[in-house]
């Protein structure tokens, strides 16, 4: 089988938001050809924002918000389990990225006086900056990447990282169309592979009907893990409120500032804030499963011109097929409330706090390995966090490579990975990838979906260990199949991590994201720590704890609990299933 | 009774050993290509798809949805220079 072999200084894996700014920044300082961007799709339409984004959800604009406020808000939203330095680094560098995007031609919503038109969606501060023409974002990034002269290699999927001793030394993968092996030696690798979005199975049973772009299968989580890097907060799942069945956002961040809000079946509000947090999701979940469910996004009270404005944004950006979904069901924003549901579980630091452990320099625990975007743990980092941290990672990787010489030959590692990648092709009649994937993800739903308990998590873990053996039965007939089989490895790895991390933290935290029925209270005495995991010397998954570094923006205990009070006081309800009441003696039993 | 049990034990052991058998199945897929409008040898939509589920149909030389893996994101439809593509919502969630 043919192989592509390249030498570079920096390889960026993943050409979405974080990967684009990383490669652009790295190329500014290095000769042409020394920066390689690997993308398993095509950079013009890849990553979480393949079809653009309607706004920045965490913009810290001078005059509207401060870095201190933002760091405080995200510390609250993540129940205190944060590395504030990493959030601070974002908060103090992200406005530069907004100005950079502005210069590249991204259009932000401005007021009549020319100020950024910032909206309030979070519980406390105002950080949402609409981009009504955000459908162009990916095209703009692609143009800048090409102008910079980055060596972009599309349709190559990375499967393992190379190590030279403790250091990172490159990437191995394959072309998902030709089946050719790809080996890129490099001094530093920046992982920007997006979320683990194909973990839970959507309630529809449709494998690719995920909230995340299904290309984001947890590749980066698995690559970092097998390279020996630590991951953190994996038990803090991503679960989002989405349009039922369609499984895309409705989207409260766009409609909220225009007067839309979340209600129960009676049309009554029950949550104070539509900002996506674990505590908001817990109230959402309780309402959904109570006698007041389903839950809806209410827009039918808005003026026709407001609805036109909402459609103009929602049906052109992010998930534009929302319009034909509603039309297909005979619904419209003017006449029907939008029925909402909760997403399948995933891992994503862009929305919650589960990812590869990174510091404020974007460094993982492996020298030369950096991570940015949804897969790197800087909680609630969203799109602007990905763009900002991509840039920061590249800047720091450039400093790092200045002191790294050429590495040793790694023929053994490469040969072993070649064998692992192509093994499924020797089983053309093996189990098809979609059946394997369906089974693992169905088991994820059965055993990992909150509310969690030790018995269910343990049973799930045993199935995921068995699924490791089952991978030896999965076959592939084409390079496309092979891509899906190797994604099956990523998905299974993430399922095992999610089970083990959830079992380890014997308390409840982050609302629904880590709700343990057997440990229903939050226990700061024991669990005010990061729960990390890594692959140990023997190849086993090892759990460890890291202390929370002293805060640089202090919060007192009551402030830390402010996200716990998201239910509207006048809207109490109980989701407990009650025993049917026995008929009273006077009425008697039917004969 | 024990005969039945012996047979089941033997078959259970055999089931762990035998190879795989396959069948095929039709799928309704959401990406519909208008063959009149689609340009032969144009690969724009195939390059756009983030999950690589489109390919050239060897029978027609035109693009088609080759794998039931669509995210209904509309990249192919929006990027097609001939407006030859209509993406439907996949039947399971329609």
**B-chain residues near A321 (CB < 8 A):** 72-74, 87, 89
Q: Which helix (H) or strand (E) holds A98?
A: helix A84-104
pLDDT at A574: 58
Q: Do the domain assignments include residue A476?
A: yes
| pLDDT tens-digit series, residues A261-290 | 999 999 999 998 899 999 999 999 999 999
Tell me which chain A residue has its CA closest to the CA of residue B77: A321
Average pLDDT over residues A58-76: 96
Say if A28 is an interface residue toward chain B (CB within 8 Å). no
Residues B92 and A207: their CA atoms lie apart, in Å, by 10
Which residue segment(s) compose the domain that A473 sits in? 421-527
* Mutation site for B-interface testing, chosen from A138, A207, A214, A326 by largest number of B Cβ within 10 Å: A214
Q: Radius of gyration over alpha carbons of chain B, in Å?
A: 22
Percent of chain A with pLDDT over 90: 88
Residues of B in contact with A319 (CB under 8 A): 73
Residue A591 has pLDDT above 50, yes or no: no
Angle at alpha carbon of residue A279, lines to A276 and A284, rounded to 5°: 75
Indicate the helix (H) or strand (E) that contains A421. Answer: helix A411-422
Q: Higher-confidence residue: A250 or A461?
A: A461
Please report which confidence band the pLDDT of residue A408 belongs to, taking 50, 70 and 90 as the band edges: confident
Q: Which of A69-83, A114-128, A454-468 has the lowest mean pLDDT?
A: A114-128
Q: Which of A509, A527, A545 is the last residue of a domain?
A: A527
Residue A43: count other Cβ atoms within 10 Å of its Cβ.
Answer: 24
Average the pLDDT over A215-243 and give the result.
98
Q: Does B35 touch chain A (CB under 8 A)?
A: no
Non-local CB neighbours of B12 within 8 Å, separated by 6+ positions: none
The CB density around residue A582, as the number of other CB atoms within 10 Å, is 7
Which among B22, B75, B89 has CB closest to A45? Answer: B75
CA distance A437 to A521: 34
Whether residue A433 is contained in a domain is answered as yes
Whether A373 contacts A348, CB under 8 Å: no
In a domain, A305, yes or no: yes
Report the CATH number that the domain containing residue A323 is assigned in CATH.
3.90.700.10
What does the pLDDT read at residue A572?
67
CB-based contact, B28 to chain A, within 8 Å: no
Of A44, A324, A431, the CB nearest to B48: A44
Domain boundaries, chain B: 26-93
Domain-located, residue A286: yes
A573 pLDDT exceeds 90? no
Calculate the average pLDDT of chain B: 95
What is the ipTM, given to two decimal places?
A: 0.95
Is pLDDT above 80 for B1?
no
User: What residues of chain A lie within 8 A of the CB of B45, using their CB?
Assistant: none
Of A322, A342, A362, at which residue does a domain stop? Answer: A342
Number of independent structural domains in chain A: 2
Can you give the pTM of this predicted structure? 0.96
Q: Does the beta carbon of B39 lie under 8 angstroms from any beta carbon of chain A?
A: no
Measure the CA angle with vertex A558, ends A554 and A563; round to 5°. Answer: 95
**In whole angstroms, what is the distance from residue B24 CA to residue A260 CA?**
47
A50 lies within 8 A of chain B by CB: yes
Question: At residue A454, does pLDDT exceed 50?
Answer: yes
Would you call A93 an interface residue with chain B, using a CB distance cutoff of 8 Å? no
For residues A122-138, average pLDDT = 91
Statement: residue A583 has pLDDT above 60: no
pLDDT in the model for residue A251: 84
The full length of chain A comes to: 591
Q: How far apart are alpha carbons A35 and A106 in whole angstroms? A: 25
Give the pLDDT of residue B76: 98
Is residue A586 predicted with pLDDT exceeding 60?
Answer: no
Average pLDDT over residues A334-345: 96
A361 membership: H or E segment, kind and range? none
Asked if pLDDT for residue A580 goes beyond 70, the answer is no
Which tokens in the block code for residue A72? 């405080």
Tell me what percent of the residues of chain A surpass a pLDDT of 70.
96
- What is the arithmetic mean of pLDDT over A547-553? 97
- Among residues A239, A235, A238, A277, the alpha carbon closest in space to that of A506 is found at A235
Report yes or no on A573 lying in a domain.
no
- Print burial letters for A483-511: b (CB count within 10 Å at least 16), e (below 16): bbbbbbbbbbbbbbbbbbbbbbbebbbbb
Residue A566 is predicted with a pLDDT of: 87
Confidence of residue B15 (pLDDT cuts 50, 70, 90): very high
pLDDT band at A568 (very low <50, low <70, confident <90, very high): confident
Question: Which one has a higher pLDDT value, A458 or B2?
Answer: A458
Closest CA to A513 of A235, A285, A210, A249: A235
Instruction: Domain B26-93: give its CATH code.
Output: 3.30.70.20
Q: Which of A470, A500, A527 is the last residue of a domain?
A: A527
Q: Between B20, B49, B72, which is nearest A321 by CB?
A: B72
Average pLDDT over residues A176-186: 97
Number of Cβ within a 10 Å radius of residue A48: 26
**Which pLDDT belongs to residue A556?**
87
CB < 8 Å to A136, chain B: none
Instruction: Supply the mean pLDDT for chain A.
Output: 94
- Whichever domain contains A488, its CATH number is 1.20.58.100
């Amino acid at each position: 089988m043919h192989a592509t072999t390249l030498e570079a200084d920096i390889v960026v894996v993943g050409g979405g938001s974080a990967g684009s700014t990383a490669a652009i920044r790295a190329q500014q300082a290095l000769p042409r050809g020394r920066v390689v961007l690997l993308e398993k799709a095509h950079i013009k339409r890849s990553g979480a924002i393949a079809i653009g984004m309607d706004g920045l959800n965490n913009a810290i604009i001078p005059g509207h918000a401060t870095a201190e406020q933002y760091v405080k808000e995200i510390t609250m939203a993540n129940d205190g389990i944060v590395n504030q330095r990493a959030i601070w680094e974002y908060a103090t560098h992200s406005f530069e990225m907004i100005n950079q995007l502005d210069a590249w031609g991204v259009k932000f919503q401005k007021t009549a006086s020319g100020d950024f038109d910032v909206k309030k969606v979070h519980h406390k501060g105002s950080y949402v900056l609409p981009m009504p023409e955000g459908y162009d974002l990916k095209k703009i990034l692609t143009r800048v990447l090409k102008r910079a002269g980055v060596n972009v290699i599309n349709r190559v999927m990375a499967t393992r990282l190379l190590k030279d001793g403790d250091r990172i030394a490159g990437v191995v993968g394959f072309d998902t169309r030709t089946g050719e092996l790809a080996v890129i030696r490099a001094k530093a690798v920046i992982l920007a592979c997006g979320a683990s979005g194909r973990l839970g199975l959507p309630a529809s049973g449709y494998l690719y009907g995920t909230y995340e772009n299904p290309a984001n299968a947890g590749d980066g989580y698995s690559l970092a893990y097998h390279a020996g890097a630590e991951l953190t907060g994996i038990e803090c799942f991503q679960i989002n409120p989405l349009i039922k069945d369609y499984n895309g956002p409705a989207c409260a961040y766009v409609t909220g500032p225009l007067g839309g809000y979340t209600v129960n079946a009676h049309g009554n509000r029950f949550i104070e804030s539509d900002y996506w947090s674990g505590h908001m999701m817990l109230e959402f979940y309780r309402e959904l499963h109570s006698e007041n469910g389903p839950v809806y996004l209410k827009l039918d009270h808005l003026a026709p011109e407001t609805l036109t404005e909402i459609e103009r944004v929602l049906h052109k950006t992010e998930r534009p097929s929302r319009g034909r979904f509603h039309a297909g069901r005979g619904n419209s924003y003017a006449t029907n409330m939008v029925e909402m549901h909760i997403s399948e579980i995933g891992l994503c630091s862009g929305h919650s706090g589960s990812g590869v452990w990174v510091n404020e320099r974007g460094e993982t625990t492996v020298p030369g390995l950096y991570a940015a975007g949804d897969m790197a743990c800087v909680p609630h980092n969203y799109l602007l966090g990905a763009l900002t941290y991509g840039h920061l990672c590249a800047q720091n990787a450039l400093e790092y490579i200045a002191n790294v010489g050429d590495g040793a030959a790694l023929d053994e590692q490469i040969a072993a990975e070649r064998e692992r990648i192509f093994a499924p092709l020797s089983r053309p009649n093996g189990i098809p990838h979609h059946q394997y994937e369906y089974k693992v993800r169905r088991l994820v739903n059965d055993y990992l979906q909150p509310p969690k308990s030790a018995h269910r998590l343990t049973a799930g873990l045993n199935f995921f260990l068995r699924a490791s053996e089952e991978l030896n039965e999965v076959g592939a007939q084409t390079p496309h199949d092979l891509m899906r089989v190797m994604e099956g490895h990523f998905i299974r790895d993430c399922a095992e991590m999610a089970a083990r991390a959830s079992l380890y933290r014997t308390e409840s935290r982050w609302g629904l994201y880590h709700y343990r029925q057997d440990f229903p209270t939050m226990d700061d005495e024991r669990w005010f720590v990061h729960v990390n995991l890594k692959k140990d010397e023997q190849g086993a998954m090892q759990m460890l704890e890291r202390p929370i570094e002293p805060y640089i923006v202090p919060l007192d205990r009551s402030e830390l609990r402010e996200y716990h009070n998201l239910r509207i006081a006048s809207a109490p309800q109980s989701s407990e299933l009650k025993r049917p009441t026995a008929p009273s003696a006077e009425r008697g039993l039917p004969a | 009774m024990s005969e039945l049990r012996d047979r089941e034990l033997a078959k259970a052991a055999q089931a762990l050993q035998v190879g795989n058998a396959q069948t095929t199945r039709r799928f309704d897929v959401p990406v519909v290509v208008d063959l009149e409008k689609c340009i032969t040898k144009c690969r724009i939509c195939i390059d756009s798809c983030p999950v690589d589920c489109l390919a050239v149909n060897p029978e027609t030389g035109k693009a088609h949805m080759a794998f039931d893996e669509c995210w209904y994101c509309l990249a192919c439809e929006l990027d097609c220079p001939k407006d030859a593509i209509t993406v439907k919502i996949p039947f399971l969630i329609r």
